[in-house]
Amino acid sequence: MKKQIVLIVAIIFSSFISFAQSPNDMSIIDAQDTVVFDIAHADSGVGFVEFPVYFLSGDTINALDFSFKYNQANFSYDTILKLASYLSITSNYNMTDSTVYFTSFSITSFANNTPLVKIRFTILSGQFCKDDLNNVLVYLNGDVCSVKITECIHAPNGIYEAENKNSSIEFYPNPSEGLTQMRFNAVRNQSYDLIVSDVNGKMVYKQSANAVAGENEMNLHLDFLSKGVYLVQVVMNYMNLYKKIVLQ
């Protein structure tokens, strides 16, 4: 009986040692492992902007942590949204050192090169770009690694214009004297908000409407606005469309 107990204990201990020496625990995190703050693929809506965070690594990753400061003159930290269901996350803004702290872990290995969370800010003014983040520290499996922050996409006059692969907005004519026809495609029937913003990111016009699956058309009367460049957004639950229009 004692021999059987000793044998069982030996098997359990042997299994524990094998698990402790798994490739996951032996992975070495270094400068080739990178956490990406992908501002270039940010989404924005009425008064907010959010961008994904993911990592690039050949190692097995079970924990991602980071901290950062940001431009508080133009933006206010809102929250960090979980995109991967298997993650356990905690985040908070520390008023003492004006820093956002984030930690996450999972028994399931994190998916490489796949957005894990989105960081959301409230827009006070302007466009969120690379220089609006600073003092960024990142860790994978508890070890320091490299960070990459992609740049925002600028169009002429500083207006942000992101091209959506599945749909886009077209104006006829553009430039316009104020009356133009807008066309865009929607994936399905969906209500949406039409938002027009100036070069400083200030909303100057908003209208709610309903889109149908397929091509949509509507006439825009913007002759009450001053001459210049504006950003038009079609904000839907499943995607946002952007296009600049010139009023002359």
State how far the Cα of 56 lies from the Cα of 146, in Å rounded to an integer: 10
Cis amide prior to 175 (ω within 30 degrees): yes
15, pLDDT greater than 70: no
Angstrom distance (rounded) from CA 14 to CA 9: 8
Reference 247, options 232, 228, 224, 233; nearest CA is 228
Q: What is the DSSP letter of 154?
A: B
Identify the residue with better confidence: 200 or 107.
Answer: 107
Question: Would the CATH topology of 32-149 be identical to that of 156-247?
Answer: yes
Q: What pLDDT is stored for residue 194 in this prediction?
A: 87
Task: Give the pLDDT of residue 200.
Answer: 72
Structure confidence at residue 170 (pLDDT): 87
* CATH assignment, 156-247: 2.60.40.3080
Please give the pLDDT value at position 239.
63
CB crowding 34-52: b at 16 or more within 10 Å, else e? ebbbbbbebbbeeebbbbb
pLDDT digits (tens, 9 = 90+) for 121-156: 988 877 788 999 999 999 999 999 999 999 886 443
| Angstrom distance (rounded) from CA 130 to CA 225 | 30
Tokens of 209: 């409407």
Nearest residue to 22 via CA among 56, 58, 59? 59
User: What's the CA gap between 88 and 74, in Å, rounded?
Assistant: 30
Q: Where are the domains of the chain?
A: 32-149, 156-247
State pLDDT tens for residues 22-60. Answer: 444 446 888 889 999 999 888 876 678 899 999 999 999
User: Domain 32-149's class?
Assistant: mainly beta
pTM of the model: 0.56
Is residue 11 over pLDDT 80?
A: no
Predicted pLDDT of residue 54: 96
Contacts of 199 (CB under 8 A, 6+ apart): 157, 158, 159, 228, 229, 230
Q: Determine the 3-state secondary structure of 128 from DSSP.
A: coil
Q: What is the mean pLDDT of the chain?
A: 81
Task: Note the pLDDT of residue 158.
Answer: 39
Task: Give the least confident one: 23-27, 73-77, 231-235.
Answer: 23-27
